[in-house]
Structure 1
Amino acid sequence: MNKWMGALAALAALAVATPALADYPEKPVRVIVTTVPGPLDAFARAVVKQMSEKLKQPFIIDNRAGAGGNVGADMVAKAPADGYTLLFALDTTLTVNPSLYDKMPFDGSKDLAIISVPVTYSQMLAVGPNVKANSLPEFVQLAKTQHLSYASGGNGSPSHLTMAAFLANAGLDMTHVPYKGTGASVVDVMGGQVDSVFAVVSGIWPQAKAGKLKALAVSGNARSPSAPDVPTVAELGYPGFNASFAYVLAAPAGTPKEILQLLAREAQAAMNSKEVMDLDRQADYTPTGLSPEASAAWIRDMRKRWAEVITKAKITAN
């Protein structure tokens, strides 16, 4: 009798759950973006606009910046796992912060379900016009003979991590000058206050074309479509070097698999829209086409890779 009653209960639960999944979404979806308006926010809005139009419900952006994305990600990690609260974050919130912060308010490997890593992007190494180096080998040689400095968007930022990884690879030591944002750091490299910087291609290349900076190399495993003549670091004597970053779409752990799959399909469809493809070209993003499983594997791999860099370089959030 107990087994029979249990089977009936399971069937009843399935009967209730199935229509709910079939009707999702039945109300507006809240999308927490972990930065103030800027590149991530613009990308998230372009993607969820397409998803909203297809799924016939508003996807409402809620900007919750702070602690390298931990504030917004923690809100999503603790939200109901029903598909109505999503996260759009820099991958560093999940790949870098666990090693950067002494204590995390959530466990990214357990408390969040990865839907997609839709795009990756590289950093471009540049020096000021007065620095006597016109190539990466010349820059390395110069750094061996005189003490140079490098700017970044702040401790633990992609620009900081990329340079830390390169310095460890090349066996160099340089003075780190952190800024509150990459924009200000690039300005001071142009002005000669700091010697060098790794920053997003879209922030470096226009200035390099204008003669205000000298672009030396790209950090990813492929050349930038925007600057095809600029070689990768790996091409220039550092095989295997790959410092790439990404955006991540996620949901609370425990969100029904059917909802995650639906959101992943719609996110991928949004990537194929003209609006998002145009944005990718302008911002120098590389679409990945990764499945949720492959996206989660990418996050795990980068978490391990950056943990090694952070430990070796003794980087902290302060």
Structure 2
Amino acid sequence: MKAINKIMGAVLALGALAAATPALAEYPERPVRVVVTTVPGPLDAFARVVVKQVSEKLKQPFIVDNRAGAGGNVGADIVAKAPADGYTILFALDTTLTVNPSLYDKMPFDVNKDLAIISVPVTYSQMLAVGPNVKANSLADLVQLAKTQKMSYASGGNGSPSHLTMAAFLATAGLDMTHVPYKGTGASVVDVMGGQVDSVFAVVSGIWPQAKAGKLKPLAVSGNVRSPSAPDVPTVAELGYPGFNASFAYVIAAPANTPKEILQLLTREVQAAMASKEVQDLDHQADYSPTGLSPEASATWIRDMRKRWSEVITKAKISAN
């Protein structure tokens, strides 16, 4: 009887394996749609170089479809409502999942239930800089100025990483500055260089070349480690604000209920792509820090950052309007 039970168990196991294997063995058998939640720019460039590696390995086109709008909500909603078959995947700024739930009165999808997280592949910091005519050569100088006179800061828009980072710093330092939002970080940096606005937090790759040219004065970086591109610029935490860490990330996800085998395959291929020279070169150029996080750890990172930014948004009374 025991022998029969063992045989039956083996048969059932083989049957289950056979049932699961075809979906994985056939995937992908047609092109995969890659929804990128921004217009062409840093996220788009990152997505394209990663999916190029994945496409070559899996021998199917991975076609980028830029769907910007509502802080990434438009593109993320498309993926959240797509068939859970692995043929639609998402590349988004983490803020779509970590910031938007507190920024928007109503989300078009459930950030906790409608997406399966594949990876938070890289994080990146913001660099704080002031215009050349601002009389501050250090973070301490800027803080002192802000205590004695009206100061302004630019951002890429309400709820953007540059806005959130400065809001978090001002709350930490007990300061107040006038916020000047722009439609994009590039324009905000230009006006700080021109003296129309005093300061800005922006991605390192957007600040550092201008700083080296003498058009901006870099004061600090927002992450918990110094920038590989600008190792002489200290972190905010090093400059008297221990524990300060404003890091952002990219997120790769698929619709919830996508077959586990397909998610595992995509996870492996993304990890392999991250180890490629082409992606590593881009990471170095763009000042991205690869995380090596598993899907589970990536989901935890997103939940933790959602809680952190909710506190900042509430305290600073930031809205999407």
TM-score (ref. length: structure 1): 0.95
Local SS of the residue matching 1:108: coil
Any idea what the Cα deviations from partners look like across 1:207-244, whole Å, max 9, x if unmatched? Answer: 11111000000000000000000000000011110000
- 2:157 maps to 154
Structure 2 counterpart of 1:165, one-letter code: A
Local SS of the residue matching 1:300: helix
Structure 2 counterpart of 1:297, one-letter code: T
- In structure 1, which of residues 261, 265, 270 is the aligned counterpart of residue 273 of structure 2? 270
Any idea what the Cα deviations from partners look like across 1:111-164, whole Å, max 9, x if unmatched? Answer: 000000000000000000010000001110110000100000000000000000
- 2:4 maps to none
Any idea what the Cα deviations from partners look like across 1:163-201, whole Å, max 9, x if unmatched? Answer: 000000000000000000000000000000000000000
- 1:168 maps to 171
- 1:299 maps to 302
- 2:254 maps to 251
- In structure 2, which of residues 85, 91, 97 is the aligned counterpart of residue 94 of structure 1? 97
C-alpha deviation, 1:21, in angstroms? 1.6
- 1:81 maps to 84
- In structure 2, which of residues 129, 132, 138 is the aligned counterpart of residue 129 of structure 1? 132
Does 2:176 match 1:178?
no
- 2:217 maps to 214
* Alpha carbons of structure 1 residues 10 and 254: separation in structure 2 relative to 1, 3 Å: farther
- 1:111 maps to 114
- 1:66 maps to 69
Does 2:30 match 1:27?
yes
Structure 2 counterpart of 1:244, one-letter code: S
Local SS of the residue matching 2:112: helix
- 2:288 maps to 285
Any idea what the Cα deviations from partners look like across 1:26-70, whole Å, max 9, x if unmatched? Answer: 111111000010000000000000000011111010110100000
Structure 2 counterpart of 1:203, one-letter code: G
Q: Distance in 1 between matches of 2:71 and 2:255?
A: 19
Does 2:57 match 1:54?
yes
Local SS of the residue matching 1:198: strand
Structure 2 counterpart of 1:208, one-letter code: A
Does 2:16 match 1:43?
no
- 2:240 maps to 237
C-alpha deviation, 1:20, in angstroms? 1.3
Q: Distance in 1 between matches of 2:19 and 2:68?
A: 37
Aligned length: 311
Structure 1 portions without partners, runs of 5+: 1-7
C-alpha deviation, 1:17, in angstroms? 3.6
Q: Distance in 1 between matches of 2:225 and 2:16?
A: 49
Q: Distance in 1 between matches of 2:82 and 2:20?
A: 19
Local SS of the residue matching 1:109: coil
Structure 2 counterpart of 1:147, one-letter code: K
* Alpha carbons of structure 1 residues 39 and 232: separation in structure 2 relative to 1, 3 Å: same
- 2:3 maps to none
C-alpha deviation, 1:14, in angstroms? 6.2
Q: Distance in 2 between matches of 1:287 and 1:82?
A: 27
TM-score (ref. length: structure 2): 0.95
C-alpha deviation, 1:22, in angstroms? 2.3
Deviating beyond 3 angstroms after TM superposition, the runs of 4 or more aligned structure 1 residues are: 8-17
C-alpha deviation, 1:15, in angstroms? 3.9
- In structure 1, which of residues 307, 314, 318 is the aligned counterpart of residue 317 of structure 2? 314
Structure 1 counterpart of 2:237, one-letter code: A
Structure 1 counterpart of 2:120, one-letter code: V
